[in-house]
């Protein structure tokens, strides 16, 4: 690749990926057509010259006149021969569903669209219906996407079921019993800062080298004493260590309530912290800077399916910049939020925030513009992307176990309910050495395509943001394309249309009947199961969740009963001389006591009964620290769980 042309280099990389996937799809389509042609020859011997002659030779000779006999069973297998003077009658194939003869309508209420140069017409199926009545702030981008797809929007809902329901907050925005909804039950609870930290902590204890992309975290106020003791222990061993920590409220958003500290004693234990749990993390003091400014990356990730797991990453994202030049934290600048916090909702109120219609300048830019700039300096952007993809897959793997429990609680197997998908916002920070660090995951990333502009003090106006529109509309539109419930039906109709033609033209074979021909290529790249072989070994807790659900006993519940717990231990051969069934009963009582002692808010923030189950099973002895007992028990724990599926 040429140096000095980073845009072409980045585009060429994505094009190469797309071409490889397109070639694989083309080969599969060619093989399918060849197989279909073989089956047609077997069914219709007269479809080709040689089989026709062979079939003619196999016809029985005309019998000599004789006494009349009744038809016998074997006669049914002999094709009747017409008189020599009459032409062979070949009935025309019946029109396939969705097809109609030229000039006629296939069915009432359906219009036919004629392709140029075609003798037949394609009856387009009904458009996909989308209920946008609960879309909230993503409504504008959703409307544009639906219009580009030529689907039908119902902005005020509909009495009849829709194909897709677009919720703005959570799965429970409305009662849905069919179709697809763009939220998973439990996702909002799972990506809160405390729950996410606990989920990643379990994986860090199991696979410490694989999950070092998440800063070390402590839960406040529960783990304040542990936090203070561990910090003091490190300081005693290394007096030169001068750390900085960042405190984030559990349910906070848009930078609300975040502040930096240099010592545990600086934490504001009085007042709101007791009633508003938080997470304290090590602060990344050496981030990558561009134009002397700190920035983070908002990447959009589509969780298309939970079981089987399907993950897509948008090829384009947003880079959000601070508005004050960065300096490493010190007592004088700890409170400079425009220097340390990249949140758009905070920096928008800075007098130095730069609105720009260019994707490569201003306080909000596209991620590809950052990659192009890094590439021009010799950075291996493929390695950067590879590390980010790995971070995303590992994070989703950490979240899926409890998400499955939430899902079966709201949509038990065998009962009517919608299928789910969700767009997540991953906030990622690049360190100076280009290592990606996960800051947080957003269940409801902003999909607004405008920003507020202050016309006069206290007077604001919504102004379109071209950068937001370019990125967010593509993400929503292509998410809908991937979730299109009628895509398979349209594909079958296209194949049926081509099957009725003896010699389809090249334009028809190229997909003239494809309703997405006018759209750009999909901006979402599949990363799982595409790279499943590299990451499946990390799904230990995920398999444990499958067992947990199997032994729940009552559909729709999230709490494992004592009988189910004993069955789980027994079937997975986890009981031994060191862990008797009596000890199992005591372990269950401890888990239940911890669960029952929580308030409803604590259960939401700390996760479901599976989380208590996982934590307690990993560390049944309270005399050992969690970081010590998990690796010790892993060899004896992972093998039986892997076998008991």
Rounded CA-CA distance 166/177 in Å is 14
Rounded CA-CA distance 209/192 in Å is 24
- Give the pLDDT band of residue 10 (cuts 50, 70, 90): low
- Give the pLDDT band of residue 5 (cuts 50, 70, 90): low
pLDDT at site 583: 77
Instruction: Give the chain's radius of gyration (CA, Å).
Output: 31
pLDDT at site 374: 96
**pLDDT score of 403 more than 60:** yes
Reduced to 3 states (helix: H, G, I; strand: E, B; else coil), residue 117 is: coil
pLDDT at site 276: 80
Rounded CA-CA distance 640/572 in Å is 5
Rounded CA-CA distance 619/202 in Å is 11
**pLDDT score of 576 more than 90:** no
pLDDT at site 216: 95
pLDDT tens-place string over residues 270-314? 555 666 899 999 999 999 999 999 999 999 999 999 999 999 999
Average pLDDT, the chain: 78
Q: Which range among 313-327, 436-450, 564-578 shows the weakest confidence by mean pLDDT?
A: 564-578
DSSP-derived letter for residue 15 is H
Strand partners, 93: none
Rounded CA-CA distance 567/103 in Å is 66
Q: How many helices (H) and strands (E) does the chain have?
A: 21, 22
DSSP-derived letter for residue 287 is B
What one-character-per-residue DSSP string does 351-383 give? TT----SSTTSSSEEEHHHHHHHHHHTT--HHH
Element of type H or E holding 584: helix 581-597
Check if the beta carbon of residue 521 is closer than 8 Å to that of residue 483: no
Rounded CA-CA distance 233/582 in Å is 38
Tell me the pairing of strands 450-456 and 164-167.
unpaired
On the CB side of 34, CA atoms within 13 Å amount to: 6
- Tell me the range of 50-54, 265-269, 505-509, 556-560 where mean pLDDT is highest: 265-269
**pLDDT score of 609 more than 60:** no
pLDDT at site 105: 43
Tell me how many degrees the CA angle 118-121-123 measures, rounded to the nearest 5. Answer: 150
- Give the pLDDT band of residue 368 (cuts 50, 70, 90): very high
- Give the pLDDT band of residue 317 (cuts 50, 70, 90): very high
Residue/partner pairs of 31-39 with CB below 8 Å, 24 or more apart: 36/499
Kindly state the percentage of the chain with pLDDT values over 90.
Answer: 47
CA nearest 242: which of 326, 334, 325? 334
Check if the beta carbon of residue 115 is closer than 8 Å to that of residue 122: yes
pLDDT at site 610: 57
**pLDDT score of 600 more than 90:** no
pTM of the model: 0.77
Q: Cα separations (Å) of 257 from 287, 330, 369, 418?
A: 22, 20, 31, 36
Check if the beta carbon of residue 193 is closer than 8 Å to that of residue 440: yes
DSSP-derived letter for residue 127 is P
**pLDDT score of 260 more than 50:** yes
**pLDDT score of 28 more than 90:** no
Tell me the pairing of strands 422-430 and 293-305.
antiparallel
**Distance from chain centroid for Cα 174:** 22
Q: Kindly report the backbone phi and psi dihedral angles of residue 302, in degrees, each rounded to the nearest multiple of 5, phi listed first.
A: -100, 120
**pLDDT score of 614 more than 70:** no
pLDDT at site 410: 86
**pLDDT score of 382 more than 80:** yes
Secondary structure string (H, E, C) spanning 53-81: HHHHHCCCCCCCCCCCCCCCHHHHHCCCC
- Give the pLDDT band of residue 215 (cuts 50, 70, 90): very high
**pLDDT score of 339 more than 80:** yes
- Tell me the range of 52-61, 290-299, 354-363, 605-614 where mean pLDDT is highest: 290-299
pLDDT tens-place string over residues 77-121? 444 454 444 444 454 554 444 444 444 444 444 444 444 444 444
pLDDT at site 567: 74
- The larger pLDDT score, comparing residue 272 to residue 364, is at 364
- Tell me the range of 70-79, 334-343, 583-592 where mean pLDDT is highest: 334-343
Check if the beta carbon of residue 353 is closer than 8 Å to that of residue 321: no
**pLDDT score of 346 more than 60:** yes
**pLDDT score of 228 more than 70:** yes
Rounded CA-CA distance 209/185 in Å is 31
**pLDDT score of 187 more than 90:** yes
pLDDT at site 562: 75
pLDDT at site 518: 86
Rounded CA-CA distance 432/285 in Å is 9
pLDDT at site 481: 96
**pLDDT score of 202 more than 60:** yes
pLDDT at site 595: 58
pLDDT at site 39: 55
* Total number of residues shown for the chain: 645
The C-alpha torsion from 414 through 417 and 423 to 427, rounded to 10°, is -70
pLDDT at site 510: 52
CA nearest 530: which of 16, 12, 21? 21
Interhelix angle 381-410/6-43, rounded to 10 degrees, is: 50
Q: Cα separations (Å) of 383 from 375, 387, 429, 528, 580?
A: 11, 6, 15, 18, 49
**Distance from chain centroid for Cα 484:** 15
- Give the pLDDT band of residue 546 (cuts 50, 70, 90): confident
Rounded CA-CA distance 431/429 in Å is 6
CA nearest 356: which of 272, 459, 463? 463
Rounded CA-CA distance 560/141 in Å is 42
Rounded CA-CA distance 344/96 in Å is 54
pLDDT at site 271: 55
Sheet of 112-113, strands arranged across: 99-100, 121-123, 112-113
Interhelix angle 540-550/193-206, rounded to 10 degrees, is: 110
pLDDT tens-place string over residues 14-25? 767 767 766 766
pLDDT at site 581: 74
């Amino acid at each position: 690749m040429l140096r000095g042309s980073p845009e072409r280099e980045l585009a060429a990389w994505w094009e190469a990926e797309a071409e490889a996937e397109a070639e694989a799809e083309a080969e599969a389509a060619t093989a399918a057509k060849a197989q279909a042609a073989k089956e047609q020859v077997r069914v219709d011997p007269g479809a080709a010259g040689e089989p026709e002659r062979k079939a003619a030779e196999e016809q029985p000779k005309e019998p000599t006149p004789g006494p009349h006999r009744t038809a016998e069973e074997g006669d049914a297998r002999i094709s009747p021969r017409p008189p020599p003077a009459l032409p062979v009658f070949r009935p025309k194939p019946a029109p396939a569903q969705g097809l109609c003869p030229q000039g006629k309508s296939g069915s009432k209420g359906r219009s036919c669209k004629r392709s140029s140069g075609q003798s037949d017409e394609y009856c387009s199926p009904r458009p996909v219906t989308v209920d946008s009545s609960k879309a909230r702030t993503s409504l504008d981008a959703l409307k544009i996407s639906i219009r580009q797809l030529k689907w039908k929007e119902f902005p005020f809902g509909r009495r009849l079921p829709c194909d897709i329901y677009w919720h703005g907050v959570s799965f429970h925005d409305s009662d849905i019993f069919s179709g697809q909804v763009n939220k998973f039950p439990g996702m909002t609870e799972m990506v809160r800062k405390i729950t996410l930290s606990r989920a990643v902590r379990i994986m860090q204890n199991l696979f410490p080298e694989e999950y070092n992309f998440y800063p070390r975290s402590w839960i406040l106020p529960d783990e304040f004493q542990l936090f203070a003791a561990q910090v003091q222990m490190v300081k005693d061993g290394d007096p030169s260590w001068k750390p900085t920590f960042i405190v984030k409220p559990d349910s906070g958003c848009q930078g609300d309530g975040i502040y930096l500290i240099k010592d545990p004693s600086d934490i504001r234990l009085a007042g709101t912290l007791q009633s508003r749990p938080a997470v304290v993390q090590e602060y990344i003091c050496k981030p990558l800077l561009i134009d002397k400014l700190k920035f983070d990356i908002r990447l959009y990730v589509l969780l298309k399916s939970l079981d089987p797991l399907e993950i897509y990453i948008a090829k384009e994202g947003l880079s959000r910049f601070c508005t004050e030049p960065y300096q490493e934290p010190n007592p004088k600048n700890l409170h400079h939020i425009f220097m340390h916090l990249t949140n758009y909702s905070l920096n928008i109120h800075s007098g130095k925030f730069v609105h720009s219609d260019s994707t490569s300048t201003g306080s909000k830019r596209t991620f590809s513009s950052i990659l192009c700039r890094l590439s021009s300096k010799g950075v291996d952007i493929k390695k950067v992307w590879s590390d980010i993809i790995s971070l995303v897959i590992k994070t989703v793997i950490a979240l899926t176990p409890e998400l499955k429990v939430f899902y079966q609680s709201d949509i038990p197997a065998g009962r009517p309910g919608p299928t789910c998908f969700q767009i997540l916002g991953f906030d990622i920070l690049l360190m100076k050495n280009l290592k990606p660090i996960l800051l947080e995951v957003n269940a409801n990333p902003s999909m607004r395509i405008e920003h507020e502009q202050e016309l006069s003090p206290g007077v604001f106006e919504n102004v379109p943001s071209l950068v937001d529109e370019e990125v967010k509309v593509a993400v929503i539109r292509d998410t809908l394309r991937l979730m299109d419930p009628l895509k398979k039906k349209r594909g079958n109709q296209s194949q049926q249309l081509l099957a009725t033609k003896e010699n389809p033209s090249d334009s028809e074979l190229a997909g003239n009947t494809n309703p997405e021909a006018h759209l750009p290529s999909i901006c979402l790249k599949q990363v799982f199961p595409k790279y499943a072989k590299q990451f499946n070994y990390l799904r230990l807790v995920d398999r444990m969740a499958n067992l947990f659900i199997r032994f729940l006993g009552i559909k729709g519940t999230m709490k494992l009963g004592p009988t189910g717990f004993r069955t789980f231990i027994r079937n997975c051969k986890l009981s031994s001389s060191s862990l008797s069934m009596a000890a199992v009963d005591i372990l269950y009582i401890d888990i239940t006591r911890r669960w029952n002692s929580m308030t409803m808010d604590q259960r939401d923030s700390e996760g479901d009964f599976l989380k208590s189950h996982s934590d307690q099973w990993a560390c049944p002895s309270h005399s050992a620290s969690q970081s010590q007992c998990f690796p010790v028990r892993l060899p004896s724990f992972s093998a039986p769980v892997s076998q008991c599926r």
